Amino acid sequence: MAVIGINDLRNGMALERDGKLYWVVKAEHVKPGKGNAFCRAKLKEVETGKSMTETFKSSDKLNEVRLEMKECQYLYSDEHNFFFMNMETFEQFGLSNDSLEDEKKFLKEDMIVYILMYGDKPVGINLPNFVELRIVETEPAIKGDTVSGATKTAVLETGHTIQVPLFVNQDEVIRIDTRSGEYLERVK
Q: With 0-12 CB in 10 A as exposed, 13-18 as middle and 19+ as buried, what is 103? A: middle
- The pLDDT, as a whole number, for residue 125 is 86
Q: 148: number of CA atoms within 13 Å, CB side? A: 0
Instruction: Count CB neighbours of 36 within 10 A.
Output: 10
C-alpha 100/C-alpha 146 separation (Å) is 36
Q: Give this prediction's pTM.
A: 0.72
- The pLDDT, as a whole number, for residue 143 is 66
Q: With 0-12 CB in 10 A as exposed, 13-18 as middle and 19+ as buried, what is 19? A: exposed
- The pLDDT, as a whole number, for residue 161 is 93
Taking a C-beta distance cutoff of 8 angstroms, is the pair 135, 156 a contact?
yes
- The pLDDT, as a whole number, for residue 167 is 86
Q: Of all helices (H) and strands (E), which one includes residue 165? A: strand 161-165
* pLDDT tens by residue, the chain, 188 residues: 688 888 888 888 889 988 888 888 889 998 888 888 899 999 988 877 788 899 999 889 998 888 888 999 999 999 888 999 999 999 999 988 877 877 889 999 999 999 988 888 888 888 899 999 999 999 887 666 666 678 899 999 999 999 998 888 899 999 999 888 899 999 97
Question: Going from the N-terminus, what domains does the chain have, and what CATH number goes with each?
Answer: 2-64 (2.30.30.30), 68-126 (2.40.50.140), 130-187 (2.40.50.140)
Q: Report helix, strand and coil shares of the chain as percent, to nearest 5.
A: 5, 55, 40
- The pLDDT, as a whole number, for residue 123 is 83
CA 69, distance to chain mean position in Å, is 15
Taking a C-beta distance cutoff of 8 angstroms, is the pair 72, 87 a contact?
yes
Taking a C-beta distance cutoff of 8 angstroms, is the pair 152, 137 a contact?
no
At 101 the three-state DSSP class reads coil
Cβ neighbours for 129, distance < 8 A, ≥ 6 positions apart: 177, 178, 179
C-alpha 145/C-alpha 160 separation (Å) is 25
